[in-house]
Amino acid sequence: MSAPESDDARPVAGTLPWQERNPISVAHRTTYTTRAAWTCEVESAWSRFAKFQLLNRLSWTQLGEALAILPAINTGEGIDLRAADAFRLTDLADTLHIGLHDIEHSFCTANRGDSLLDAASPSLRFCLTCASTGFHATLFQFTAFRRCPIHGCELCEACTSCGQPLAYRLGAGLVRHPYACPSCGRSLLAAASLRHLLANAGTETTGLDRLRAWHDYFFRYLQLLGPGRRRIRDEAGQYLPGDEIQACSDIPRRLAFIGELERHLRSPPELPSVDPVPGASARSGGGSRPAVRQPSRCAWAADWPHVDHTCVTLCAIYRKIRKNRVRRLARSIRPVQPEDGSVRHSPEFGLLLCDGNTSARSIALLGWRLTWERRFSIQTLTRCQGNYPPFGLLEWLAFMPAHLPPSVAPQEWLHRHFVHALGQTWNAWCAISSGMQENGCYVLSPLLFPARLLWLDFPDMHVPEVADPRTRVALHRETANDT
Ligand SMILES: [Zn+2]
Ligand SMILES: [Zn+2]
């Protein structure tokens, strides 16, 4: 097949304002019409592809080639746009004239086998106002979010004209009716106001920043959650149909609280970075054991080396430090308790809500206690495995295997790490609560700063013993092979 020249691209609804305003950028190889400046980094693949098709009006075969669909993919029923693995991403980024990073963020998950797929809807969820300007965010597809962070309005899940859901797929419907309902053809775009979002100063830029912040928070939190592989069989080992897989997945439920946070907070809570224990690598058996481990490899169910009398010792340390902290705080302010009248409960999402008049340090103390005390019971071990990770002290112990104590003086090592972890989580909660005070209210949950964060490493976190990025990549590889 020969790709069409840009001259051949049929004009689309010829008088749209952005067509005159922006000069057409022409690719060097194949000459598709693209408008890289007319997209933004948190925009969904569906939105990018639909606009590409609006500009180029290709046939299904041509579109498949332009968008670099992998040859092995069965396109009979179209392609699920939640997952990126049906495309050659470098070629796709090339066609659309955007960076690889941007294209990766256009998809909900890298792979159809990720259980994260279950957190995203198979049909389009859209904000009417955003869609009318030619914008749809990847984040809208996640069922945790019920509102558009830019406009605050409820997301639509069906065509406002015919009531049918719009399949979130690349298929014949999108080829025939780009940026429109495939059933009735009703366009989501308001032709008169079609313009590129980023060019608009003022409220929309602020709104877009807010959306981007939630996008970043959501995806960063996912690293922390490490959702793992999709469960595609039932208890008896039989394969489940697609919709049932999603229905029995607990991933949407575990992420639902983030959408609820967004209802109460203008900007997402901080996910503060933590500093490792000073001299940790030297004391933990030298440099041979990598200090970095992928979140998904921090298996919390398999290897819990210190769930024994050590728990009791560490719990005593915690109680002592808590007592001191409460006493110190109580000299100046009254620490807030979960039972207080000023605290509202949102049990469905496991959140505590407080108004912004409460002192931030008092909230920090409550949050810090949530991090360490929630679900510290043996039932966490026996009844909740597979659905819930452990919390608090057990969680801290469960995520330790990548950093096992040395054989010499292990108790001293554990003690030192634990006291450090208590200090780090206290600092983190102080940062989280003062950020929320600026938001005007507090939303608290142990999920906001889980104890496992002390053992996990994120690319932008501070890891002093491995400062050189090349060394860090090597370590990641070493960790990946270490199975
Ligand atoms: Zn919107
Ligand atoms: Zn319709």
Q: What is the DSSP string of 242-268?
A: HHHHHHH-SHHHHHHHHHHHHHH-SSP
What pLDDT score was predicted for residue 249? 84
Q: In terms of pLDDT, which residue wins out, 388 or 230?
A: 230
Instruction: Tell me how far the alpha carbon of residue 133 lies from the centroid of ligand 2, in angstroms.
Output: 18
Q: Is 251 part of a structural domain of the chain?
A: no
Q: Which of 165, 192, 214 is the last residue of a domain?
A: 214
Tell whether 300 and 402 lie within a shared domain: yes
Q: Is 169 part of a structural domain of the chain?
A: yes
Count structural domains, the chain: 2
Q: Are 465 and 291 in contact (CB under 8 A)?
A: yes
Q: Is 316 part of a structural domain of the chain?
A: yes
Mean pLDDT, to the nearest integer, of 382-405? Answer: 67
Mean pLDDT, to the nearest integer, of 222-246? Answer: 79
Decide if pLDDT at 387 tops 50: no
Tell whether 202 and 295 lie within a shared domain: no
Tell whether 150 and 10 lie within a shared domain: yes
Instruction: Tell me how far the alpha carbon of residue 151 lies from the centroid of ligand 1, in angstroms.
Output: 4
H helices then E strands: how many in the chain? Answer: 17, 7
Tell whether 339 and 210 lie within a shared domain: no
Instruction: Tell me how far the alpha carbon of residue 188 lies from the centroid of ligand 2, in angstroms.
Output: 10
pLDDT bucket at 70, cuts 50 / 70 / 90: very high
Q: In terms of pLDDT, which residue wins out, 26 or 359?
A: 359
Alpha-carbon dihedral sign for residues 174, 175, 178, 184: negative
Tell whether 141 and 18 lie within a shared domain: yes
Instruction: Tell me how far the alpha carbon of residue 156 lies from the centroid of ligand 2, in angstroms.
Output: 12
What pLDDT score was predicted for residue 305? 55
Residues whose CB falls within 8 Å of the CB of residue 436, separated by 6 or more in sequence, listed in order? 265, 269, 356, 360, 363, 442, 443
Q: Are 242 and 77 in contact (CB under 8 A)?
A: no
Instruction: Tell me how far the alpha carbon of residue 167 lies from the centroid of ligand 2, in angstroms.
Output: 11
Find the domain containing 283 and state its range: 274-481
Strands 169-170 and 79-80 turn out to be: antiparallel
Instruction: Tell me how far the alpha carbon of residue 404 lies from the centroid of ligand 1, in angstroms.
Output: 47
Amino acid letter, 157: E
pLDDT bucket at 297, cuts 50 / 70 / 90: very low
What pLDDT score was predicted for residue 191? 63
Instruction: Tell me how far the alpha carbon of residue 132 lies from the centroid of ligand 1, in angstroms.
Output: 9
What does pLDDT average to over the chain?
Answer: 78
Amino acid letter, 216: D
Q: Which of 169, 195, 214 is the last residue of a domain?
A: 214
- d(CA 283, CA 28) in angstroms, rounded, equals 55
Q: Is 158 part of a structural domain of the chain?
A: yes
Tell whether 175 and 311 lie within a shared domain: no
pLDDT tens track for 28-38: 456 787 776 67
Tell whether 65 and 197 lie within a shared domain: yes
pLDDT bucket at 378, cuts 50 / 70 / 90: very low
pLDDT bucket at 199, cuts 50 / 70 / 90: very low
Most confident of 4-8, 123-127, 324-328, 366-370: 123-127
Tell whether 280 and 195 lie within a shared domain: no
- d(CA 338, CA 362) in angstroms, rounded, equals 11
DSSP state of 353: E
Q: Which of 191, 214, 237 is the last residue of a domain?
A: 214
Mean pLDDT, to the nearest integer, of 449-476? Answer: 50
∠ CA(224), CA(80), CA(161), 5° rounding? 110
Instruction: Tell me how far the alpha carbon of residue 32 lies from the centroid of ligand 2, in angstroms.
Output: 29
Helix, strand or coil, per DSSP, at residue 106: coil
Tell whether 280 and 198 lie within a shared domain: no
Q: Is 261 part of a structural domain of the chain?
A: no
Tell whether 108 and 203 lie within a shared domain: yes
Q: Is 156 part of a structural domain of the chain?
A: yes
Please state which of the ranges 42-51, 144-153, 174-183, 469-478 shows the lowest mean pLDDT. Answer: 469-478
Instruction: Tell me how far the alpha carbon of residue 80 lies from the centroid of ligand 2, in angstroms.
Output: 19
Q: Is 232 part of a structural domain of the chain?
A: no
- Tokens at residue 319, please? 């109680």
Q: Is 269 part of a structural domain of the chain?
A: no
Amino acid letter, 350: G
- d(CA 390, CA 387) in angstroms, rounded, equals 10
Helix, strand or coil, per DSSP, at residue 83: strand
Tell whether 293 and 195 lie within a shared domain: no
- CB burial of residue 22 (10 Å; 0-12, 13-18, 19+): middle
Instruction: Tell me how far the alpha carbon of residue 210 lies from the centroid of ligand 1, in angstroms.
Output: 11
pLDDT tens track for 397-406: 877 776 778 8
Tell whether 209 and 347 lie within a shared domain: no
Helix, strand or coil, per DSSP, at residue 350: coil
Please state which of the ranges 4-8, 31-35, 84-88, 114-118 shows the lowest mean pLDDT. Answer: 4-8
Instruction: Tell me how far the alpha carbon of residue 77 lies from the centroid of ligand 2, in angstroms.
Output: 19
- Tokens at residue 281, please? 């690598």
